[in-house]
Amino acid sequence: MDPSGRRSVTDFAIQGRGVIVAAAGSRAKVLDRLRLGDAAFRQLTRAAAVGVLILLSAVIISLAKGSIPALQTFGFGFLFSERWNPVTENFGALPAIYGTVITSFIAMLIAVPIGLMIAFFLTELCPQWLRRPIGTAIELLAGIPSIIYGIWGLFVFAPFLQQTLQPFLINTLGNVPGIGSAFAGPPYGIGMLTAGLILAIMVLPFITSISRDVFEAVPAVLKEAAYGIGCTKWEVTRNVVLPYTRVGVIGGIMLGLGRALGETMAVTFIIGNAHRISASILAPGTTISATIANEFTEAVGDLYTSALIALGLILFVITFIVLAIARYLLLRIERRIG
Amino acid sequence: MAEQISESRYKRRRRRNATATILALAATMVGLGWLVLILGALLWQGFSGLSVAVFTEMTPPPGAAGGLLNPIVGSLMLTVLAVAIGTPIGILAGTYMAEYGRHDVLTSVVRFINDILLSAPSIVVGLFIYEVMVAPMGHFSGLAGGVALAVLVIPVVVRTTEDMLTLVPNALREAATSIGLPRSLTITRICYRAARAGMLTGVLLAVARISGETAPLLFTSLNNQFWSTNLNAPIASLPVVIFQFALSPYKDWQSLAWTGALIITMAVLALSISARALVATGKQS
CATH code for the domain in which residue A168 is found:
1.10.3720.10
In chain B, what residues touch A212 (CB-CB under 8 Å)? none
> Which of B:49-88 have CB within 8 Å of A?
none
Q: CA nearest B82: which of B162, B139, B143?
A: B143
Which pLDDT band, with edges at 50, 70 and 90, does B1 fall under?
A: low
Kindly state whether residues A31 and A158 are assigned to the same domain: no
Instruction: Note the pLDDT tens digit of each residue in A274-285.
Output: 888 888 899 999
What Å distances lie between residue B246 and A147, B48, B57, B66, B257, CA to CA? 10, 16, 19, 15, 5
Query: Which of A74, A101, A131 delimits the end of a domain?
Result: A74
By C-alpha distance, the chain A residue nearest B272 is A143
ipTM, interface predicted TM-score of the complex: 0.91
Kindly state whether residues A302 and A333 are assigned to the same domain: yes
Say which of A232, A269, A312 has its CB closest to residue B123.
Answer: A312
Query: Which carries the bigger pLDDT value, residue B284 or residue A96?
Result: A96
By C-alpha distance, the chain B residue nearest A125 is B21
pLDDT at B285: 45
- A144 to B212: CB separation less than 8 angstroms, yes or no: yes
Q: Strands A84-85, A90-91: parallel, antiparallel or unpaired by DSSP?
A: antiparallel
By C-alpha distance, the chain A residue nearest B162 is A49
In chain A, what residues touch B10 (CB-CB under 8 Å)? none
For the cut 50, the answer to whether the pLDDT of residue B189 exceeds it is yes
Kindly state whether residues A89 and A206 are assigned to the same domain: yes
Kindly state whether residues A252 and A173 are assigned to the same domain: yes
Which pLDDT band, with edges at 50, 70 and 90, does B3 fall under?
A: low
Which pLDDT band, with edges at 50, 70 and 90, does A115 fall under?
A: very high
Determine contact, residues A247/A332, Cβ cutoff 8 Å: yes
Q: Which of A254, A264, A298 to mutate to test the interface with B (most CBs of B within 10 A)?
A: A264
pLDDT at A130: 93
pLDDT at A5: 46
Report yes or no: A41 at the B interface, CB cutoff 8 Å.
yes
Q: Number of structural domains, chain A?
A: 2
Q: Which domain holds residue A156?
A: 75-337
From first CA to last CA, the distance across chain B in angstroms is 63
Query: Which of A54, A74, A94 delimits the end of a domain?
Result: A74
- B179 to A12: CB separation less than 8 angstroms, yes or no: yes
Q: Measure CA A140 to chain center.
A: 15
- A113 to B27: CB separation less than 8 angstroms, yes or no: yes
Kindly state whether residues A9 and A107 are assigned to the same domain: no
pLDDT at B113: 94
For the cut 70, the answer to whether the pLDDT of residue A301 exceeds it is yes
Kindly state whether residues A194 and A332 are assigned to the same domain: yes
Q: What percent of chain B has pLDDT over 90?
A: 74
For the cut 90, the answer to whether the pLDDT of residue B238 exceeds it is yes
- A269 to B247: CB separation less than 8 angstroms, yes or no: yes
Determine contact, residues B220/B148, Cβ cutoff 8 Å: yes
pLDDT at B49: 85
Which pLDDT band, with edges at 50, 70 and 90, does A28 fall under?
A: confident
Kindly state whether residues A62 and A80 are assigned to the same domain: no
pLDDT at A23: 54
In chain A, what residues touch B125 (CB-CB under 8 Å)? 59
**Is the model's pTM score more than 0.80?**
yes
pLDDT at B140: 92
Kindly state whether residues A279 and A188 are assigned to the same domain: yes
Kindly state whether residues A30 and A155 are assigned to the same domain: no
Query: Which carries the bigger pLDDT value, residue A10 or residue B254?
Result: B254
Q: CA nearest B119: which of A140, A232, A259, A237?
A: A259
Instruction: Note the pLDDT tens digit of each residue in B77-131.
Output: 999 999 999 999 999 999 999 999 999 999 999 999 999 999 999 999 999 999 9
For the cut 70, the answer to whether the pLDDT of residue B138 exceeds it is yes
The shortest C-alpha distance from A185 to chain B (Å) reads 24
Determine contact, residues B225/B208, Cβ cutoff 8 Å: no
Kindly state whether residues A58 and A84 are assigned to the same domain: no
Say which of B100, B114, B214 has its CB closest to residue A45.
Answer: B100
Report yes or no: B206 at the A interface, CB cutoff 8 Å.
no
Report yes or no: B175 at the A interface, CB cutoff 8 Å.
no
Kindly state whether residues A167 and A198 are assigned to the same domain: yes
What Å distances lie between residue B21 and A117, A236, A315, B31, CA to CA? 9, 13, 39, 15
- A147 to B258: CB separation less than 8 angstroms, yes or no: no
Query: Which of A27, A57, A74 delimits the end of a domain?
Result: A74
Kindly state whether residues A233 and A314 are assigned to the same domain: yes
DSSP B161-212: HHHHHHHS-HHHHHHHHHTT--HHHIIIIIIHHHTHHHHHHHHHHHHHHHHT
DSSP A15-76: HHHTS----GGGHHHHHHHHHHHHHHHHHHHHHHHHHHHHHHHHHHHHHHHHTHHHHHHHTT
Q: CA nearest A157: which of B51, B19, B34?
A: B34
Q: What percent of chain A has pLDDT over 70?
A: 92
For the cut 70, the answer to whether the pLDDT of residue B283 exceeds it is no
